């Protein structure tokens, strides 16, 4: 519905018109559906399990029992600052629209591209994680299938997952809302089932002392020391990836705000509530995994199991049948998550293209008859497949006798997702702080608390992103005797490449024609 229609505008359409856009997308999402998409993208059944190895190999149990709750509190503060922004500006452009409004076209251009790169990377990471867990599920249930394992097989499953996510997104926006509602209950019931299985089925459980004090260093730094300066201030911080990657993608509430009824409050609540509930649920789930680590033949906890992720722990503690069931629950949750990620990324692509910031904008901003940006969906799918191609290279950070196959490329993609998304969040959060009392708040706001929340949020983002640029394994550090390109964490190369590319593009061309969000409606038409 546009402002020129005879039908009067509702409050949501009027607020959107005030920001310069007509109601082109179908506004059929409830506040719960808006919350549901971020909850689905955060997906404790995805990030908690797919990035478990990042925490385990870079700190061990303490990277879960201590780092998770501490980092979660900081992320919740970031969420509060973004809830205030989406309440004031509920538009699909979301993050970059806020930056352009508060800091001008250049701020909007940088923010938009960082956010888009992050969304494509998180879609790739979730889809690849889903493919990995589908393969693990089938391998757990079939010895013959497991015997033929290879990375090409996993990559093909990854492509199929991307295709399924794309087709479902192209079909209908309303279908996505229903799927996200179902996804919430799958995640709640599935996580509860896994917790009960991990509490009841294993013959033994580890002590509280083990869960809250055990340290592990499989990174190769400091010769495996767990008490050195490097371990405390470089190895453990890379383990932050487990929390920071899992609890991300909550900006989906903003990207879907143009399709949400009562967006000024619904989208704002969706952001912080999805973070809070995911942080609590994820912590319980991860603690249960660590408590379930079985003992080895010597009677001590078998710390080698977690090096390969959660699957070896499940198999050793639960047996193949229960382990396969748990992996199946997680795989299905990750498929829901991949679909939701595709929804969010395609809406951002559509909104950024609507303002002509993406090459080929006229294609990516087109809507189908059912008001779905189908071409934007395909754009995201192809880019996600390309950025994940290095996952075809097998990386063994162990030895021939004790191999540890590490998904370096997967960790790199997830690091790119964290860097792109959180850096894009930092720009409008900082700009809102600079505006101070001149910022026109929406229905949901932080009051005077923004004065300490916003700078704290930006500081956390910058510090964690810098840590995640560090090679996760010493073999990826230039100058190391173990250096090989296959060990390299290529996230800083991509992130810095994007920043340099944006800067050159802006100075040479974009600043001449990109003036920020383009109004599609005349303010004079607003009744």
According to the model, what pLDDT value does residue 1 have?
37
| Contact predicate 271/264, CB 8 Å | no
Segment 165-175 mean pLDDT: 82
CA of 402: how far to CAs of 52, 100, 202, 397, 482, in Å?
A: 19, 52, 25, 9, 17
In a domain, 487, yes or no: no
Q: Long-range contacts of range 465-469, CB-CB < 8 Å, 24 or more positions apart?
A: 465/418, 465/419, 465/422, 465/423, 465/495, 467/234, 467/237, 467/238, 467/240, 468/238, 468/240, 468/241, 468/244, 468/415, 468/418, 468/419, 469/415, 469/419, 469/495
Name the token pair of 3: 């402002």
Q: Look at the alpha carbons of 409, 411, 414, 416 in this order and tell me if their dihedral is positive or negative.
A: negative
Segment 329-334 mean pLDDT: 95
- Name the strand (E) or helix (H) holding 272: helix 263-291
Give the integer Cα–Cα distance in Å for 257 and 268.
9
Nearest to 311 by CA among 298, 292, 284: 292
In a domain, 370, yes or no: yes
Segment among 119-123, 347-351, 440-444 with least mean pLDDT? 347-351
Please determine, for residue 191, whether its predicted confidence score (pLDDT) is greater than 80. Answer: yes
Tell me the DSSP string of 119-161: HHHHHHHHHHHHHHHHHHHHHHH-HHHHHT--HHHHHHHHHHH
Confidence grade of residue 8 (pLDDT, cut at 50, 70, 90): low
Q: Look at the alpha carbons of 256, 11, 21, 94 in this order and tell me if their dihedral is positive or negative.
A: negative
Confidence grade of residue 405 (pLDDT, cut at 50, 70, 90): low
In a domain, 495, yes or no: no
In a domain, 71, yes or no: yes
Q: Domain range for residue 335? A: 31-399+410-469
CA of 54: how far to CAs of 58, 234, 266, 304, 502, in Å?
A: 6, 13, 34, 14, 30
Segment 134-151 mean pLDDT: 90
Please determine, for residue 184, whether its predicted confidence score (pLDDT) is greater than 50. Answer: yes
Arithmetic mean of pLDDT over the chain: 87
In a domain, 26, yes or no: no
Segment among 187-191, 351-355, 409-413 with least mean pLDDT? 409-413
According to the model, what pLDDT value does residue 32 have?
83
Domain tally for the chain? 1
Confidence grade of residue 522 (pLDDT, cut at 50, 70, 90): low
In a domain, 200, yes or no: yes
According to the model, what pLDDT value does residue 369 have?
82
Segment 90-110 mean pLDDT: 89
In a domain, 360, yes or no: yes
Distance of CA 440 to the CA centre of its chain: 29
Nearest to 43 by CA among 305, 294, 279: 279
Q: What is the greatest pairwise CA distance in the chain? A: 78
Confidence grade of residue 187 (pLDDT, cut at 50, 70, 90): very high
Please determine, for residue 364, whether its predicted confidence score (pLDDT) is greater than 50. Answer: yes
Please tell me whether residue 59 adopts helix, strand or coil conformation. strand
CATH label of the domain that carries residue 378: 1.20.1740.10
Give the integer Cα–Cα distance in Å for 334 and 187.
9
Nearest to 327 by CA among 125, 126, 130: 130
According to DSSP, residue 405 is labeled: B
Question: Within 13 Å of residue 57, how many CA atoms lie on the same side as its CB?
Answer: 26
Q: Which residue has the higher pLDDT, 133 or 91?
A: 133
R_g of the chain, CA atoms, integer Å: 23
Confidence grade of residue 220 (pLDDT, cut at 50, 70, 90): confident
In a domain, 476, yes or no: no
According to the model, what pLDDT value does residue 5 have?
46
Nearest to 346 by CA among 114, 165, 522: 165
According to the model, what pLDDT value does residue 200 have?
97
Segment 432-449 mean pLDDT: 95
Segment 365-388 mean pLDDT: 90
CA of 245: how far to CAs of 112, 410, 418, 431, in Å?
A: 19, 12, 6, 24
The owner of tokens 């519905």 is 1
């Amino acid at each position: 519905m546009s402002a020129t229609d005879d039908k009067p505008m509702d409050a949501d359409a009027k607020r959107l018109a005030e920001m310069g856009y007509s109601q082109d997308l179908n506004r059929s999402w409830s506040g719960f559906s808006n919350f549901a998409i971020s909850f689905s993208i955060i997906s404790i059944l995805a990030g908690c399990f797919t990035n478990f190895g990042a925490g385990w190999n870079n700190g061990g149990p303490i990277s879960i029992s201590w780092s998770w709750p501490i980092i979660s509190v900081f992320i919740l503060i970031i969420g509060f600052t973004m809830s205030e922004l989406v309440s004031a500006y509920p538009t699909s452009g979301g993050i970059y629209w806020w930056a352009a409004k508060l800091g001008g076209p250049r701020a909007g251009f940088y923010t938009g591209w960082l956010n888009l790169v992050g969304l494509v990377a998180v879609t790739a990471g979730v889809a690849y994680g889903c493919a990995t867990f589908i393969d693990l599920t089938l391998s757990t249930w079939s010895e013959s299938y497991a015997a033929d394992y290879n990375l090409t097989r996993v990559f093909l499953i990854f492509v199929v997952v991307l295709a399924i996510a794309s087709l479902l997104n192209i079909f209908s926006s309303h279908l996505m809302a229903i799927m996200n509602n179902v996804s919430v209950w799958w995640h709640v019931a599935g996580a509860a089932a896994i917790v009960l299985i991990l509490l009841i089925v294993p013959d033994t459980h580890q002590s509280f002392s083990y869960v809250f004090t055990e340290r592990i260093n499989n990174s190769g730094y400091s010769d495996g020391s767990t008490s050195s300066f490097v371990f405390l201030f470089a190895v453990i911080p890379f383990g932050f990836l487990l929390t920071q990657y899992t609890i991300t993608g909550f900006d989906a509430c903003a990207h879907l705000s143009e399709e949400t009824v009562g967006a000024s409050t619904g989208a704002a609540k969706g952001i912080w509530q999805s973070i809070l509930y995911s942080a609590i649920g994820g912590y319980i789930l991860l603690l249960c995994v660590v408590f379930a680590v079985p003992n080895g033949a010597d009677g001590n906890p078998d710390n080698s199991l977690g090096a390969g992720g959660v699957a070896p722990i499940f198999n050793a503690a639960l047996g193949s049948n229960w382990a396969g069931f748990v992996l199946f629950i997680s795989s299905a949750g990750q498929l829901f998550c991949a679909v939701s990620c595709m929804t969010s990324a395609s809406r951002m692509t559509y909104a950024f293209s609507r303002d002509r910031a993406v090459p080929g904008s006229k294609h990516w901003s087109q809507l189908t008859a059912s008001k779905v940006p189908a071409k934007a969906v395909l754009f995201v799918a192809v880019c996600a497949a390309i950025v994940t191609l290095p996952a075809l290279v097998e990386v063994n950070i162990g030895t021939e006798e004790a191999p540890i196959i590490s998904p370096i490329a997967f960790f790199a993609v997830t690091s790119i997702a964290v860097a792109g998304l959180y850096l894009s969040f930092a720009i409008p959060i900082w700009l809102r702080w600079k505006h101070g009392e001149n910022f026109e708040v929406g229905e949901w706001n932080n009051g005077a608390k923004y004065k300490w929340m916003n700078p704290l949020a930006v500081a956390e983002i910058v510090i964690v992103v810098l840590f995640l640029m560090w090679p996760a394994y010493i073999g990826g550090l230039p100058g190391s005797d173990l250096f090989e390109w296959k060990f390299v964490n290529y996230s800083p190369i991509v992130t810095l490449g994007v920043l340099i590319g944006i800067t050159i593009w802006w100075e040479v061309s974009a600043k001449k024609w990109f003036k920020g969000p383009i109004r599609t409606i005349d303010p004079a038409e607003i009744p």
